Chain A
């Protein structure tokens, strides 16, 4: 089974040279720590920066330079700043190659819910609806089940949707899956996890073809 860093590590293997990538808050942020050797990517943060770097050294933080999680950051050589309209132009115009975000639920049709629990949590969608409606390539990073042990990979989302038919890949603590017309296609198992365990933790239609290999993380 993978921990959050393991999920980030597996997703990082999907990065390709030259990609512009938008990372959501939570597990997706960790992906920046595992960029494979020899690959150049640039991170976009939707509040208006391309070429985001690591956190600043103590004492060098600047209130005017933050990411979409409101964290102080630095910039890399070649970075740029821009306004919010241009930033979402990059996103809607599909200039950003890959979006990695968290989710509360994903359906077998690729629908995603991650912004609202009616009556409980209403923080807003931020940029998530723009990102999922526009990106060609969306990877969801999340735990396979919720705290109550219920599957988060469903036939149909129960929470208000963020976007419809948009998720292409899901990486969880148990598995790597692709969303196909028929449902979740199991591609890889997390280390030490059996196909049976993945089956039991997946409510949506799960497609298992042949032997399912175990993930290789390093």
Chain B
């Protein structure tokens, strides 16, 4: 067994530097690497390019990095719910590349799986396809989209083991598995870190080969963006 465990978030992020490109898992605030984000805020690294489906909210998630102006460029599919983001984008302080959500996932997966690029129908005929190669297959038009290149992927899972194997819970899975192994170094934080041999290999969602560092995270807030409920009869 090849051990991937590190002592905690500080050791896991020891070699992050200014101007790096990071992938961050999560959909809205669901399944985001809360510990890694807190450490990035603390470390004060700047000039970052962040690949993440969303940009957090004003006072949580990637919004915390935006507040401190640590992010130079965001690559996302949906960035509502964040006033500071909107302000920085409209003022030109922040460079923003908006791309279709499925394209974002597939550009991660291409990087993970050794494809330099993929063809997708998403965005054909729109401004997303401007300047990109397009091609017809069986009478339908597709856009060439390149695999991402990133220095670190920060992902969050529910359970993990010493070998870096990961299991996710509910819709907190989202982009996290696609980003594992898609960057030079993948750092996984988990709610529960267990000894190797504890997880049933049949139940593993992401094999440890895609994860370089794993640690048990602390103090998860798991904020809910839209608390929608119904009354008990």
Which A residues contact B (CB, under 8 angstroms)? Answer: 45-49, 54-73, 81-85, 87-88, 91-92, 111, 122-130, 133-134, 160-165
Residue of A nearest to B113 (CB): A85
- CA A176 to CA B118, docked complex, whole Å: 37
Residues of A within 8 A of B174 (CB): 47-48, 83-84
- CA A165 to CA B76, docked complex, whole Å: 25
Sort chain B's interface into a size bin. Answer: 35 or more
Decide yes or no: A130 and B122 within 8 Å by CB, A55-B229, A84-B27 being known contacts. yes
B126–A160 touching, CB < 8 Å: yes
B120–A84 touching, CB < 8 Å: no
Residues of A within 8 A of B90 (CB): 122
- CA A111 to CA B88, docked complex, whole Å: 31
B224–A85 touching, CB < 8 Å: no
Q: Which of B90, B101, B108, B228 has the most CB of A within 10 A?
A: B101
In whole Å, how far is A123's beta carbon from the nearest beta carbon of chain B? 4
B226–A57 touching, CB < 8 Å: no
Decide yes or no: A125 and B27 within 8 Å by CB, A64-B170, A81-B171, A84-B105 being known contacts. no
- CA A123 to CA B53, docked complex, whole Å: 12
Residues of B within 8 A of A111 (CB): 125
B79–A124 touching, CB < 8 Å: yes
- CA A62 to CA B228, docked complex, whole Å: 10
Decide yes or no: A61 and B227 within 8 Å by CB, A84-B174, A130-B101 being known contacts. yes
Residues of B within 8 A of A58 (CB): 229-232
What does the 1/0 interface line of B154-177 toward A look like (CB < 8 Å)?
000010000000001111111111
Decide yes or no: A57 and B232 within 8 Å by CB, A63-B30, A84-B174, A133-B123 being known contacts. yes
- CA A69 to CA B28, docked complex, whole Å: 9
B77–A164 touching, CB < 8 Å: no
- CA A73 to CA B28, docked complex, whole Å: 14
Residue of A nearest to B102 (CB): A88
Residues of A within 8 A of B122 (CB): 92, 129-130, 133-134
Judged by DSSP, the binding face of A is loop
- CA A163 to CA B120, docked complex, whole Å: 13
Residue of A nearest to B224 (CB): A63
Q: Which 6 A-B pairs have the closest CB atoms?
A: A88-B102, A130-B102, A164-B125, A123-B80, A64-B170, A129-B100
B178–A84 touching, CB < 8 Å: yes
Q: Which of B30, B80, B120, B177 has the most CB of A within 10 A?
A: B30
B171–A47 touching, CB < 8 Å: yes
B173–A61 touching, CB < 8 Å: no
- CA A125 to CA B98, docked complex, whole Å: 7
Given pairs A124-B76, A125-B99, 8 additional interface contacts (CB within 8 A): A47-B171, A56-B230, A60-B229, A61-B228, A66-B28, A84-B101, A124-B78, A127-B102
- CA A111 to CA B126, docked complex, whole Å: 10
Decide yes or no: A130 and B177 within 8 Å by CB, A71-B226, A83-B105 being known contacts. no
